[in-house]
Amino acid sequence: MIRLPLRFAGVLALAALSLSVFQAAAQQNLPAAPSALDVPAAPAPAAPPVVPVFPKPDPANFTAASPSKETVNAYLQASWGYDDSRIWEVWSIEKTPAEGVSRITVLLADKSGKQKPAVMDFFALPDGKHILALNDILPFGEQPFKEAREIARLRADGPYRGSASKDLEIVEFADFQCPHCKDAQANMDKLAVDFPKARIVFQSFPLESIHAQAARAAAYGLCVAKQGGSDAFFTYAAAVFDGQEGLSTADGSTLTLNSAVVKAGLDPAKIAACAATPASADAIKSLEKLAEDLNISKTPTLVINGRQVSATTPYETIKEIVLYQAKLDRVAAQ
């Protein structure tokens, strides 16, 4: 058994166990003089997958008053249920020297049996609403994403594609100067096509400490959306990402942003004046506060009805998660 650390948020919480893919190259030896009586040997049948069987948990390992095993299982189902290949067993819920803090151990494997089972540990905190996994304090409970979903529904007010309804809301937190955010736009375009009933929101989150022009690009974007609407904004955003290298300097940023504004059909002088106002600066601070309140520190991050996922996750996995979260929330996805 391998013991691994655990992160349940939009990083390792959403990463399925890797399933190795093996391709066998068949070699065929041809006889020198083929005969009508020669019949190729039938290929050996593939061995059926051996589903791992976990050892039976010892009741003596469940010494903590809370959380219950049922609550932990509900949490894991909400977090991991999108992946049909994943299986687990709650192995222990133990008291710790810290009052009200419980240590939870989970055995995790995949149904193919190709991966060795892993042992993962995390700590449930006294409020019953959070866990500690490595350096992260993360939401916990039978509906771990409910609170974040409500925060996003109330405060994620960026330009959007798709439905006006917030029943299925996918909020993208992105920084115009972030290379990974640029790469993630292919996934965002696919989501817009595959989920027309979703509201897909672009929420600027400029990481000013590492990207000197990100806040300026975000302010321009806010003003483009204000003056031209969501359609103009997404034209602007695509142009900025396409010309992202130009944001490396202040002068290059001016040329790149003005060009993007023109492509959006608006006046660069008016957008620049709007972006320079105290109101725009306050709006940027509000965007940063929303990310802070949702415990988002990296871009690009998606918030899918409250559930965090990296926007650079392979698209098929993101799609599975969107479908599963919609099922959990009993809303239409497509």
Per-residue pLDDT of the chain (334 residues; tens, 9 = 90+): 545 444 333 333 333 322 222 222 222 332 333 333 334 455 666 666 678 889 899 999 999 999 999 999 999 999 999 999 999 999 999 999 999 999 999 999 999 887 788 999 999 999 999 999 988 899 999 999 999 999 999 999 999 999 999 999 999 999 999 999 999 999 999 999 999 999 999 999 999 999 999 999 999 999 999 999 999 999 999 999 999 999 999 999 999 999 999 999 999 999 999 999 999 999 999 999 999 999 999 999 999 999 999 999 999 999 999 999 999 999 999 8
C-alpha of 321 from chain center: 9
Q: Using alpha carbons, select from 79, 72, 88, 89 the residue that is nearest to residue 15.
A: 79
Q: What single-letter amino acid sits at 214?
A: A
Distance from C-alpha of 319 to C-alpha of 170, rounded to nearest angstrom: 11
pLDDT value of residue 31: 34
Asked if 124 and 104 touch (Cβ cutoff 8 Å), the reply is yes
Within 10 angstroms of residue 223's Cβ, the number of other Cβ atoms is 25
Q: What is the DSSP letter of 310?
A: E
- Going by C-alpha positions, the residue among 89, 23, 87 that lies closest to residue 62 is 89
**Cα–Cα nearest to 13, from 114, 128, 133, 104:** 133
Q: Which residue in the block uniquely carries the two structure tokens 């492509």?
A: 263
CA 124 to each of CA 16, 68, 70: distance values in angstroms, whole numbers, following the listed order? 22, 11, 14
Give the Cα separation of 106 and 284 in Å (integer): 41
- Amino acid occupying residue 197: K
Q: Of 161, 267, 180, 173, whose CA–CA distance to 220 is shortest?
A: 267
Q: How many CB atoms lie within 10 A of CB 268?
A: 16
DSSP 8-state secondary structure symbol assigned to residue 77: H
Neighbours of 231 (CB within 10 A): 13
Burial label for 37, CB within 10 Å (0-12, 13-18, 19+), is: exposed
Q: How far is 308 from 56, CA to CA, in rounded Å? A: 32
Beta bridge partners of 86: 110
Query: Where does the chain hold its CATH 3.40.30.10 domain(s)?
Result: 146-329
pLDDT value of residue 134: 82
Q: What fold, for 146-329?
A: Glutaredoxin (3.40.30)
* Residue count of the chain: 334
